[in-house]
Amino acid sequence: MIPQHIDTWQMVEPGKLAKTRLPMPALKPGDVVVEIKGCGVCHTDLSYFYMGVPTIQKPPLSLGHEISGVVVGGEASWIGKEVVVPAVLPCGECEICKSGRSNRCLNQMMPGNSMGIYGGFSSHIVAPSRFLCQVDRRNGVPLEHLSVVADAVTTPYQAAVRGRLQPGDHVIVIGAAGGVGSFMTQTAKAFGAKAVIGIDINDEKLAMMKGFGADYTLNPKGKSPKEVKEAFKAICKEARLPSAYGWKIFEVTGTKPGQELALALLSFVGTLVVVGYGTDETSYMLSKLMAFDAEIIGTWGCPPDRYPDVLRMCLDGKIALGPFVETRPMSQIESVFDEAHHGKLRRRVILTPDF
């Protein structure tokens, strides 16, 4: 049964949340109503809330774009099905979509940003059924845990595709133990990388990654990019790995220090994939790119048609979710935002509706 209203936590303005009740929007042909079971808290949400990064839909609006749930209304063939709602919903009709790059559709809709005032920190959301990812759960993975597939896991998967990651490749992940970085590290290994070096400033989390994709780890805290590069060379020498060519680097932090380190490590016939978002500018001598015959590649979201493959990797255990997520009631959203903003969270928090 379709409810008459949606309970939600809205960003009234940057820095201010309020619980409110919104009308259920009118359904268009093909739309479904998803009862939300979990919505992950992403760094992007914090950027909107604390840093004033503008949203396409101006506040007040509900944030949240990592959504899993159950279809309870709309398109009849979908009712009762468990789904993941993609964080980027393309139009499917424009030239960019037809070219195979639908993740960067200029007409795309994004829950918690450009789907009107509606987002995932709510009881329900209306979404077009054509791009939903149906969940066929096994191995006891909770549906709410699968919410992070919508961004934290599919974004690294798309980054690996954009970086043409192949079995036998050598990989560096900068921000390897973070909310997205931990999945980037696992994805690199799942794609068959021969060696994965995880770089992060959190020793405890970094040590954990040794069991989840990182063959070697490096903490750059207090070191200059040049010093980190020397430490990287020492790892390569001990492990008998090339240090001067061929590495694929995934920069996940979006911070200026992370980006500067990534550029310092980029070398001959190497590839840098920019995964993390930040607002600082970083300078680089482009002639180095020419001399190295190297590449710098941007990546954005993930096309919905790749979600089933990512979901399968999670359900088959190639990418572990449980050790990296925790659930909390959605009524704790303000304290969770504060903890996340101040770097106090050990795992990615998934908020479950308790209106």
pLDDT digits (tens, 9 = 90+) for 189-211: 999 999 999 999 999 999 999 99
pLDDT band for 273, please (50, 70, 90 cuts): very high
**Beta strands 348-352 and 325-329, pairing class:** parallel
Name the amino acid, one letter, at 231.
A
CA end-to-end span of the chain: 18
What's the pLDDT score for residue 279? 86
How wide is the angle at C-alpha 90 spanned by C-alphas 83 and 109, nearest 5°?
80
Q: What is the mean pLDDT of residues 262-288?
A: 96
Query: What are the chain's domains?
Result: 5-151+302-352 (3.90.180.10), 154-298 (3.40.50.720)
pLDDT digits (tens, 9 = 90+) for 125-178: 999 999 999 998 777 899 999 999 999 999 999 999 999 999 999 999 999 999
Q: Which two tokens stand for residue 100?
A: 């195979």
pLDDT digits (tens, 9 = 90+) for 223-246: 999 999 999 999 999 999 999 999
Helix (H, G, I), strand (E, B) or coil at 187: helix
Mean pLDDT, the chain, whole residue set: 96
What's the pLDDT score for residue 140? 83
Q: Which two tokens stand for residue 116?
A: 């009107």
Q: At residue 10, does pLDDT exceed 90? A: yes
For the chain, helix, strand, coil in percent to 5 are 30, 25, 40
- Model confidence pTM above 0.85: yes
pLDDT digits (tens, 9 = 90+) for 56-111: 999 999 999 999 999 999 999 999 999 999 999 999 999 999 999 999 999 999 99
What's the pLDDT score for residue 191? 98
pLDDT digits (tens, 9 = 90+) for 277-324: 988 999 999 999 999 999 999 999 999 999 999 999 999 999 999 999
What's the pLDDT score for residue 169? 98
